[in-house]
Amino acid sequence: MKRILLIVGGGIAAYKACELIRLCRKAGIAVRCVLTDGGAHFVTPMTLAALSEAPVHTSLWDLKDEAEMGHIQLSREADLVVVAPATADLLAKMAAGMADDLATTLLLATDKPVLAAPAMNVRMWQHAATTRNVAQLRRDGVTVLEPDEGAMACGEYGPGRLPEPAAILAAIERALAPEPEPALLAGRHVLVTAGPTQEAIDPVRYIANRSSGRQGYAIAGALAKLGARVTLVSGPTALPTPQGVTRVDVESAQQMADAVEAALPADAAVMVAAVADWRVNAAPRKLAKGDMESRLELVPNPDILATLGHGPRRPGLLIGFAAETHDVLAHAAEKRARKGADWIVANDVSGDVMGGTANAVHLVTANGVESWERMDKEVVAQRLAERIAHALA
Ligand code: C5P
């Protein structure tokens, strides 16, 4: 039986931790709870003990606890440590490596994966300090779920609500799932494009878009983890190269098309790049302000995906992306046919997806449409990589 250590932080969302415990138990996961001082203002140790059918731990200084079970042991006997709700304060302490109560001491002492489900006021969630702390925690390997968006107990509206217990359970189950076979894609070559392209107007100006490259980089990394040889053709991004991935840097769409051609043959290709649809004939010298309007004549760029899809060196599995702000599924189906792709991963980019860390996608294949719930881009990548592995098997 899998076990989690559930740290319940302070906040009105603490009551949802009770439902989470119930769902975990129903899914066959044993739960042991730690309640912070803040959390104890919202739920009682008795409630958590009754639901988890296990003693609840609250204090670092409870000698009885230390005699029966040291905090090191408590932090390590679980397969996964879950923090729900994770308050801004708790996230800050985790990011800083502080250990001034039982919860933070356990989090610092654990050698197990940690999953945090944040819940806080929208301004606190969007504060630069919280953004920094969450980024640090993710770099440290902590899975930080995206909070839900909606009306808050404090009367404001926005992101910051604790994800629904069912969504947290899904994340827990994914984290507890055994690592997929690393050799699933051994011997396979997969080509990934990612990031924006930059189309020079003159030596100092260019046309580009808001793509961060995150989703494509995550996919390249996930494929490499499954043992594939991965070539990542990337437009300009600020991201580190994922482990085990060969990266080819390009700027323009034409350079990307050439690099893709040079990287063939491939068993599969995942075209995630947000390729600029047009370029201009770049001026060799910086244009004067007055010359801009007359010089900006747009020339269509080659469609790299469509060229591959209808070309003689088409990879066995060809996957495109479709970022849309409206009529997402209709556009995706049309794109799949027109570009000769096997799958289209469609997403709605009218919100904060471009440049953000979460994504809600629909997988459009010959068999129809499969909609995935909103999840971290890393998790989208992992799932997609597993699907690719099964399709190529
Ligand atoms: O037509 P649209 O740009 O929406 O198509 C998106 C898909 O096509 C993505 O997979 C993208 O990487 C690919 N694409 C491409 N070359 C282009 C334009 C888009 O490979 N010039």
pLDDT digits (tens, 9 = 90+) for 78-111: 999 999 999 999 999 999 999 999 999 999 999 9
Mark whether 199 and 94 lie in a shared domain: no
CB under 8 Å to 5, separation ≥6 — which residues?
32, 33, 34, 74, 75, 77, 78, 80, 81, 82, 106, 110, 112
Whether 281 is covered by a domain: the verdict is yes
Task: Please identify, by atom number, the ligand 1 atom nearest to the C-alpha of residue 277.
Answer: 21
Retrieve residue 201's tokens: 């107007």
Task: Look at the chain and report how many structural domains it folds into.
Answer: 2
Mark whether 172 and 213 lie in a shared domain: no
Q: What is the pLDDT of residue 72?
A: 78
Mean pLDDT along residues 358-384: 92
Domain containing residue 243: 189-392
Q: What is the pLDDT of residue 182?
A: 64
Mark whether 28 and 135 lie in a shared domain: yes
Stated pTM of the model: 0.63
Among 176, 202, 237, residue at a domain's last position? 176
Q: Report which protein residue has its CA nearest ligand 1's atom 17.
A: 303
Please report, for the domain that includes residue 42, its CATH number.
3.40.50.1950
Task: Determine the distance separating the centroid of ligand 1 and the alpha carbon of 43, expressed in angstroms.
Answer: 50
Pocket test for ligand 1, best of 193, 261, 275, 298 (most atoms within 8 A of CB): 275
Mark whether 275 and 148 lie in a shared domain: no
Whether 293 is covered by a domain: the verdict is yes
Q: What is the pLDDT of residue 60?
A: 72
Task: Determine the distance separating the centroid of ligand 1 and the alpha carbon of 350, expressed in angstroms.
Answer: 17
- Ligand 1 in reach of 57 Cβ (< 6 A): no
Q: Which amino acid is at 293?
A: E
Whether 133 is covered by a domain: the verdict is yes
Task: Determine the distance separating the centroid of ligand 1 and the alpha carbon of 309, expressed in angstroms.
Answer: 11
Mean pLDDT along residues 49-55: 96
Whether 165 is covered by a domain: the verdict is yes
Mark whether 249 and 161 lie in a shared domain: no
Q: What is the pLDDT of residue 181?
A: 63
Residues in the chain: 393
Pocket test for ligand 1, best of 304, 336, 348 (most atoms within 8 A of CB): 304
Whether 183 is covered by a domain: the verdict is no
Whether 184 is covered by a domain: the verdict is no
Mark whether 160 and 200 lie in a shared domain: no
Whether 182 is covered by a domain: the verdict is no
Give the three-state DSSP class for 68: helix
- Ligand 1 in reach of 322 Cβ (< 6 A): yes
Q: Distance between CA atoms of 27 and 176, rounded to whole angstroms?
A: 12
Mark whether 223 and 301 lie in a shared domain: yes
Position with higher pLDDT, 125 vs 153: 125
φ/ψ of residue 73, rounded to 5: -65, -45
Task: Please identify, by atom number, the ligand 1 atom nearest to the C-alpha of residue 193.
Answer: 12
Query: CA torsion, points 328, 194, 318, 244, in degrees to nearest 10?
Result: -140
Among 145, 176, 207, residue at a domain's last position? 176
Percentage of the chain exceeding pLDDT 90: 82
Write down the H helix ranges in the chain.
14-26, 45-52, 63-68, 71-76, 88-96, 102-109, 122-126, 128-139, 165-176, 214-225, 253-263, 292-295, 304-310, 328-339, 377-392
Task: Please identify, by atom number, the ligand 1 atom nearest to the C-alpha of residue 319.
Answer: 10
Task: Determine the distance separating the centroid of ligand 1 and the alpha carbon of 275, expressed in angstroms.
Answer: 6
pLDDT-based confidence at residue 66 (cuts at 50, 70, 90): low
- Ligand 1 in reach of 359 Cβ (< 6 A): no
Task: Please identify, by atom number, the ligand 1 atom nearest to the C-alpha of residue 273.
Answer: 12
Mean pLDDT, the chain, whole residue set:
93
8 Å CB contact between 81 and 34: no
pLDDT tens, 184-202?
A: 999 999 999 999 999 999 9
Task: Determine the distance separating the centroid of ligand 1 and the alpha carbon of 230, expressed in angstroms.
Answer: 20
Please report, for the domain that includes residue 261, its CATH number.
3.40.50.10300
8 Å CB contact between 45 and 65: no
Mark whether 366 and 220 lie in a shared domain: yes
- Ligand 1 in reach of 321 Cβ (< 6 A): yes
Mark whether 171 and 194 lie in a shared domain: no
- Ligand 1 in reach of 253 Cβ (< 6 A): yes
Position with higher pLDDT, 209 vs 357: 209
Q: What is the pLDDT of residue 364?
A: 96
8 Å CB contact between 329 and 347: no
8 Å CB contact between 215 and 377: yes
CB under 8 Å to 181, separation ≥6 — which residues?
226
Among 19-23, 183-187, 214-218, 383-387, which is the least confidently predicted range?
A: 183-187
Mark whether 143 and 280 lie in a shared domain: no
Q: What is the pLDDT of residue 95?
A: 98
Mark whether 168 and 132 lie in a shared domain: yes
Q: Distance between CA atoms of 126 and 138, rounded to whole angstroms?
A: 16
Among 150, 176, 202, residue at a domain's last position? 176
Percentage of the chain exceeding pLDDT 70: 97
Pocket test for ligand 1, best of 193, 234, 256, 271 (most atoms within 8 A of CB): 271
Task: Determine the distance separating the centroid of ligand 1 and the alpha carbon of 207, expressed in angstroms.
Answer: 16
Task: Please identify, by atom number, the ligand 1 atom nearest to the C-alpha of residue 331.
Answer: 4
Whether 25 is covered by a domain: the verdict is yes
Mark whether 148 and 198 lie in a shared domain: no
pLDDT-based confidence at residue 180 (cuts at 50, 70, 90): low
Nearest Cα to Cα of residue 379 among 45, 115, 41: 115
Provide the annotated active-site residues.
154
SS3 of 180-205? CCCCCCCCCEEEEEECECCEECCCCC
